[in-house]
Chain A
Amino acid sequence: MSEQAMVALDEIDRDLIKQIEPDWRKMLTCIQCGSCSVSCPSGHLMDYAPRELWRLMRMGMRDELVNCRTFWLCTQCYACTVRCPRGIITSETMLNLRRWAIAEGLEVPTMLPELAESVQTTHNILREDNEGRLIWSENLEPVPEQLRDVRRGRAEVLLFAGCVGAMYPMAYSIPQSFVQIMEQAGVTYTNLGGDEWCCGYPLYGAGMDAKVADLAQHNIERARNLEPKYLVTTCPSCYHTWNHIYPQYTEGGLGFEVLHASELLARLIREGRIQLNELDWIVTYHDPCDLGRKSGVYDDPRLIINSVPGITFKEMRNHRENALCCGGGGDVAMWEADVTEDIAERRMEQAIATGATAIISACQQCKRTLLQAARKTKTRIRVLDVAELVWQAMEKGEVVD
């Protein structure tokens, strides 16, 4: 072998890994076992699979990393992280690579600056007027008064609907279902309206976590002012952000409990405050990554589903800790829509194999992604959020999709 073809170990860039990964000593323990690469839903589409990325970092191969698009394909699904035998938080290393690429001024996805600007100026990911945050509630009959009754100490539940739930028409019915359930169950609730800002997770996931602080401080302050008992999110990403990222921006705790809607609904069902009618459906459940692997909420959504009389519940081949991502995380849908589609279609195949007529999830982004995959593959399957399922069972009506 010619000398040029060799990697001269005495000449490698030893600082690269330290520049990228603050916890670089932990990263040095990587045993190159490949668990991450094969667990990764987008691994086979990457130019360097995750295991190879860690090796490039270790071996100081800057050029390869500079030209690499792999880490922009990570959906932040945590599948690699829960299986890494060395306990390396590999999902976080993917974000560290994004942070490094931004800091180095490397070519980044074209949507990235737009996303940052949109969230920072309009306070939502859609570049819409943030005053329109309650648009989803407008075609409810009647429009719930409680939503507009924003007073300190007035409501038990502060609904944090999130950008997707509040502003994507495809997801409107999730917060709609939620507030109707609250009305029926006699739970008082409210919402921050235009004062609800993007939680910041899309920026965090894009490697722009420095821009999250303002959003966090604003949301924490406004939510605290209302003195709710619970802050309830219908979005698992907002939930993850409130629970795992916001605590660093506040001292002495938030002053209220953060719940995902499925946790609250499961409580209400256990307390007998929700009456569910029979639904003669065969359903499966898709675990959202931000709710399952990142927060350990696996049982409550299943309890809800199994509480609906007449329902037949079937697990997909990959479920709970082993669930396959829908493809909608890590902002990948914004810059590599075909990667998201590829993953979503594989998830759809698993759902179809169960014989289910409906996929239940607990995330508006999973719902969007899976619904798009169903349409694209011309699959006749319903895709619903648990809140929608509960409302369906309470109303016993037909689903509008």
Chain B
Amino acid sequence: MMDAGRHPNIELLTYSEVEEVSGYIGKFQVKVRKKARHVNAELCTECGLCQEKCPQKTIPSEFDQGMGKRSAIYVPFPQAIPRVPVIDTERCTYFLTQKCRVCEKLCPAGAIDFEQEDETLELEVGAVIVATGFAQFRAEELPQYNRSLSPDIIDGLQFERLSSTTGPTEGEILTSEGVPPKRVAIIHCVGARDEHSNVYCSRVCCMYALKHAHLVRDKTDAEVYEFYMDIRASGKGYEEFYTRVQEEDVYFVRGRAAEVTVLEDGQLMVLAEDTILGKPVSAKVDMVVLGSAMVPQGDSGQVASTFGIGRSEDGFFLEAHPKLRPVETNTDGVFLAGACQSPRDVPDTVAHADAAAGRCLSLLSRGEVTISPTVAVVDERLCSACRVCIDLCPYTAISFISQDGSGTARINEALCKGCGTCVAACPAAAIKARHFTDGQIYAEIVGLLHGSEHEVAEVTG
């Protein structure tokens, strides 16, 4: 992030949203809304005084997963680039009551700007890389884990914040009572490999759950019970790490945790079957860490339609081909990187992102694109201007060209994928798919059936 922030050829637009994308490969028009921070980024020296002095300090921090607090003017997380703060207008005392302005009075650079408004930027770009990441599965959706009944039933990201030196406990693993746990249960496959939530394997959870077990063993004296169905440690050095965690005396229980119960005294109890023993087992613990799955971002449907990309059944963005074109989408010039396409861990994300950047660079450095000759073309003399094709085109490749009162459909060859939808739909038979005209296809059929018992009697078209 730091390198990207400093690079002379990279312009970072953080706290911004892409609102509209039009155009095509090599020539996209992108409309970006730069949201008002209420802090002038040019003047701000990132000194942090405003955050320190803001009287509104008890807002649950989103980055700390609600376990830590932040002020109303804040930098979302310590490593954020740039470290220019933003005012949370829904929480800021000034925005709520028109009083306070403490940050404005104290800012040595005079960077606070309560009047700042959203800005809209129009960019022209040759290619787009979508790297919008993932969300974490909300374990509240599975009633058997009773997540909402105890603050000590936490999910993987919460545990990450607990064990981070910049987190709410400065890296100490503590229960909600502020003491180290004596026993911790870690549950795999929460919201993954489950018909009631997500059927896919979320891929990263086994390793992060093992890491959590290691951290608990390393930082506390607690016993750890790890409930799993299968340990999927397929990565370089991963199985070795699993072995190491086993040697650290973690109790691995081969069974899906069926229930987390909050006992009358507030203690937590995990129930499962140890399927190797064939016996039901229970564990009374002080902390439960739910190994929650990666899921698509909540607005991924909207993002997909903005960029003209598809989504697979699981809701993640769809690559053009699972093996051969893993970073491309069905819209030429739009690439995918990272967990927005599928759950993946850091090494895989870096590799995927490198691939996307590489594809992008090779496209842009050439300065021109080669497109498939198999595209549709409108015979403008026959087009009756009914516009049926325009709504049907899945690639929004057809536009309507007005000419002195009448008009015609015209196909953008850079966008057309030659799918043939418009060809079949055109009532005036004005559209042809190049190299797949009716005549060519019938000729192929006749050739194929020649001499067989299904000899074609008559061919029209």
A residues near B, CB below 8 A? 31-35, 37-39, 43-44, 49, 51-52, 82-87, 317-318, 320-322, 353
A34-B274, A85-B194 as given contacts; A321 in contact with B255, CB under 8 Å: no
B253 to chain A, nearest CB (A): 9
Is B196 a contact of A85 with CB atoms below 8 Å? yes
Residue of B nearest to A44 (CB): B280
Is A86 a contact of B273 with CB atoms below 8 Å? no
Most chain A CB within 10 A, of B189, B195, B274, is at B195
A85-B193, A86-B195 as given contacts; A322 in contact with B146, CB under 8 Å: yes
A34-B258, A34-B275, A49-B278 as given contacts; A317 in contact with B263, CB under 8 Å: yes
Is A37 a contact of B280 with CB atoms below 8 Å? yes
Q: Is B410's beta carbon under 8 Å from chain A?
A: no
Q: Is B256's beta carbon under 8 Å from chain A?
A: yes
State in angstroms the CA–CA spacing of A261 and B194 once bound together: 34
Is B255 a contact of A33 with CB atoms below 8 Å? yes
Is B256 a contact of A353 with CB atoms below 8 Å? no
State in angstroms the CA–CA spacing of A320 and B144 once bound together: 10
Q: Which B residues lie within 8 Å of A321 (CB)?
A: 143-144
A88 to chain B, nearest CB (A): 8
Could you list 19 examples of A-B contacts with CB < 8 Å?
A32-B275, A33-B255, A34-B258, A35-B256, A37-B273, A38-B255, A38-B271, A39-B259, A43-B280, A52-B278, A84-B195, A85-B229, A87-B195, A87-B196, A320-B143, A321-B143, A321-B144, A322-B143, A322-B144
Please report which residues of chain B, range 234-275, place their CB below 8 angstroms from some CB of chain A when the two chains form the complex: 255-256, 258-259, 261-264, 271-275
Q: Which A residues lie within 8 Å of B258 (CB)?
A: 34-35, 38-39, 83
Contact among B230, B262, B272, B280 with A317 in the assembled complex (CB-CB below 8 Å): B262
Q: Which A residues lie within 8 Å of B256 (CB)?
A: 33-35, 85
Q: Which B residues lie within 8 Å of A33 (CB)?
A: 229, 255-256, 273, 275
B377 to chain A, nearest CB (A): 47
Is A318 a contact of B261 with CB atoms below 8 Å? yes
Is A317 a contact of B264 with CB atoms below 8 Å? yes
How many residues does chain B have at the interface if contact means C-beta atoms less than 8 Å apart? 26
State in angstroms the CA–CA spacing of A287 and B166 once bound together: 45
Is A38 a contact of B195 with CB atoms below 8 Å? no
Contact among A32, A85, A318, A322 with B195 in the assembled complex (CB-CB below 8 Å): A85
Q: Which A residues lie within 8 Å of B196 (CB)?
A: 82-83, 85, 87
State in angstroms the CA–CA spacing of A37 and B196 once bound together: 18
A82 to chain B, nearest CB (A): 7
Q: A34-B272, A38-B281 are in contact. List 8 more A-B contacts (CB 8 A).
A: A32-B275, A38-B259, A38-B273, A38-B280, A85-B189, A85-B196, A317-B263, A322-B146
Q: Which A residues lie within 8 Å of B229 (CB)?
A: 31, 33, 85
State in angstroms the CA–CA spacing of A106 and B278 once bound together: 26
Q: Which B residues lie within 8 Å of A86 (CB)?
A: 195
State in angstroms the CA–CA spacing of A32 and B254 once bound together: 9
B327 to chain A, nearest CB (A): 31
Q: Which A residues lie within 8 Å of B280 (CB)?
A: 37-38, 43-44, 49
Please report which residues of chain B, range 172-203, place their CB below 8 angstroms from some CB of chain A when the two chains form the complex: 189, 193-196
Q: Which B residues lie within 8 Å of A52 (CB)?
A: 278
Contact among A34, A44, A82 with B255 in the assembled complex (CB-CB below 8 Å): A34
State in angstroms the CA–CA spacing of A38 and B230 once bound together: 18
State in angstroms the CA–CA spacing of A34 and B258 once bound together: 8
A33-B229, A38-B255, A320-B143 as given contacts; A49 in contact with B273, CB under 8 Å: yes
State in angstroms the CA–CA spacing of A44 and B280 once bound together: 8
State in angstroms the CA–CA spacing of A43 and B259 once bound together: 15
State in angstroms the CA–CA spacing of A238 and B262 once bound together: 33
State in angstroms the CA–CA spacing of A31 and B194 once bound together: 11
State in angstroms the CA–CA spacing of A49 and B280 once bound together: 10
State in angstroms the CA–CA spacing of A317 and B264 once bound together: 7
Is B146 a contact of A51 with CB atoms below 8 Å? no
A85-B195, A322-B144 as given contacts; A51 in contact with B264, CB under 8 Å: no
Please report which residues of chain B, range 133-158, place their CB below 8 angstroms from some CB of chain A when the two chains form the complex: 143-144, 146
State in angstroms the CA–CA spacing of A39 and B281 once bound together: 11
Q: Which B residues lie within 8 Å of A34 (CB)?
A: 255-256, 258, 272-275
Residue of A nearest to B282 (CB): A38
Q: Which B residues lie within 8 Å of A318 (CB)?
A: 261
Contact among A43, A44, A51 with B275 in the assembled complex (CB-CB below 8 Å): A51
Q: Which A residues lie within 8 Å of B146 (CB)?
A: 322
State in angstroms the CA–CA spacing of A279 and B230 once bound together: 52
Please report which residues of chain B, range 201-239, place their CB below 8 angstroms from some CB of chain A when the two chains form the complex: 229-230
Most chain B CB within 10 A, of A33, A44, A86, is at A33
Residue of B nearest to A88 (CB): B195
State in angstroms the CA–CA spacing of A321 and B140 once bound together: 13
Q: Which B residues lie within 8 Å of A39 (CB)?
A: 258-259, 271
Binary interface encoding of chain B residues 25-59 relative to chain A, with 1 for a CB under 8 A from any of its CBs, else 0? 00000000000000000000000000000000000
Is B273 a contact of A51 with CB atoms below 8 Å? yes
Q: Which B residues lie within 8 Å of A49 (CB)?
A: 273, 278, 280
Please report which residues of chain B, range 256-311, place their CB below 8 angstroms from some CB of chain A when the two chains form the complex: 256, 258-259, 261-264, 271-275, 278, 280-281
State in angstroms the CA–CA spacing of A157 and B246 once bound together: 63
Q: Which A residues lie within 8 Å of B272 (CB)?
A: 34-35, 38
Binary interface encoding of chain B residues 67-95 relative to chain A, with 1 for a CB under 8 A from any of its CBs, else 0? 00000000000000000000000000000
State the 7 A-B residue pairs at the shortest beta-carbon distance, nearest first.
A34-B273, A87-B195, A33-B256, A34-B255, A321-B143, A85-B194, A38-B273
Q: Which A residues lie within 8 Å of B262 (CB)?
A: 317
B262 to chain A, nearest CB (A): 7
Residue of B nearest to A84 (CB): B195
Q: Which B residues lie within 8 Å of A353 (CB)?
A: 264
Residue of B nearest to A34 (CB): B273
Residue of A nearest to B255 (CB): A34
Q: Which A residues lie within 8 Å of B194 (CB)?
A: 85
Q: Which A residues lie within 8 Å of B278 (CB)?
A: 49, 52
B91 to chain A, nearest CB (A): 33
Q: Which A residues lie within 8 Å of B274 (CB)?
A: 34
Residue of B nearest to A316 (CB): B264
State in angstroms the CA–CA spacing of A86 and B192 once bound together: 11
Most chain B CB within 10 A, of A34, A84, A86, A317, is at A34
State in angstroms the CA–CA spacing of A35 and B273 once bound together: 7
Most chain A CB within 10 A, of B144, B230, B274, is at B144
A79 to chain B, nearest CB (A): 9
Residue of A nearest to B195 (CB): A87
State in angstroms the CA–CA spacing of A84 and B199 once bound together: 12
Q: Which B residues lie within 8 Å of A84 (CB)?
A: 195
A213 to chain B, nearest CB (A): 31
B292 to chain A, nearest CB (A): 14
A17 to chain B, nearest CB (A): 19
A209 to chain B, nearest CB (A): 25
Q: Which B residues lie within 8 Å of A37 (CB)?
A: 273, 275, 280
Binary interface encoding of chain B residues 346-383 relative to chain A, with 1 for a CB under 8 A from any of its CBs, else 0? 00000000000000000000000000000000000000
Residue of B nearest to A33 (CB): B256
Q: Which A residues lie within 8 Å of B143 (CB)?
A: 320-322
A371 to chain B, nearest CB (A): 23
Residue of B nearest to A318 (CB): B261
State in angstroms the CA–CA spacing of A83 and B259 once bound together: 9
Is B144 a contact of A83 with CB atoms below 8 Å? yes
Most chain B CB within 10 A, of A38, A82, A83, is at A38
